[in-house]
Structures are given as structure tokens and as C-alpha cells.
Amino acid sequence: MSPMELQKAIDGLKKDLGEGLLSCDIWTAEDGFSISGYNSMPKAVAFFNQVADHLMSTLQESEAELPSIGEYFYVKLADEKGVIIVLFDIYRISIFFDQKKVQLGFMFNILLPQFLENLENILID
């Protein structure tokens, strides 16, 4: 894994989302420390790492027989903001964006799959 390649992938996302991208971090799930980012938010990374762990374990232990989390989960926040948390092998990615400036269909159907494909080529070699 090359930090320069990670930053290049984030820069590509920033180019695609423009002012719609508020923050993006890539971190290791084990320790919750960001290894690359744009407008990094270390406290949010630590928080979302704990939320992801808790959500995964709660679903696994639930008697409701729900499936586990897939590739990512999305949280719609107040003030038309959104955050996508991607669970990617031993890494996690947060994409914090302004929904007024990014259409959700474009984000989920075009940008996110493209970004994850780029990261897969970088993180899993």
C-alpha cells in the first residue's frame, strides 16, 4: 500500500465531488487512526470506528436474525449532510459530504463504486 496512491484516490474523489466533499479519511480498523485523508477529522474517525464495531457486533449477536453489514453503511445527518462508512477488509473509510451539492444517486451509483474500485487496487495487492 502506497500512501501516495491513497492520497491520489482521495484527490480524485475530491475532484469529482468538488465542494460537496467535506472530509474523507482512510484508517485501519484495528486502531482507528487515519492513514490518509482530506480535511481529516480524527475525533470523528475514532467515533465512527467504534460505531462500526458496535453495529457489527450488535447485528451478529442479535436474535432478530438480521444479516451483517455489507460493504458500507450510510447515515443521513442534520443540515443536509451525510456520511458513508465503508468497511473494507482491515481498513475503513469515511466520506462526509454535503447532500445539497451531491446527488445521492450519483454518489451511490457512480462515485462510490468507482472510488472503492480504485481503493481495492491500492489496498489489496
Mean pLDDT of the chain: 92
Q: How far is CA 28 from the centre of its chain?
A: 12
pLDDT at 125: 61
The pLDDT value recorded for residue 7 is: 93
What does the pLDDT read at residue 65? 81
Distance of alpha carbon 67 from alpha carbon 56, whole angstroms: 10
Q: What is the pLDDT of residues 74-125, one digit of tens each?
A: 999 999 999 999 998 899 999 999 999 999 999 999 999 999 999 988 887 6
**Banded pLDDT at 1 (limits 50, 70, 90):** low
pTM, two decimals, is 0.92
> What are the CB-based long-range contacts (under 8 Å, 24+) for 79-84?
81/22, 83/48, 84/112
pLDDT band at 61 (very low <50, low <70, confident <90, very high): confident
Q: Check residue 18 and give its pLDDT.
A: 94
Query: CA-to-CA distance for 41 and 44, rounded, in angstroms?
Result: 5
Residue 91, C-alpha cell as written in the block = 481498513
Give the SS3 label for residue 91: strand
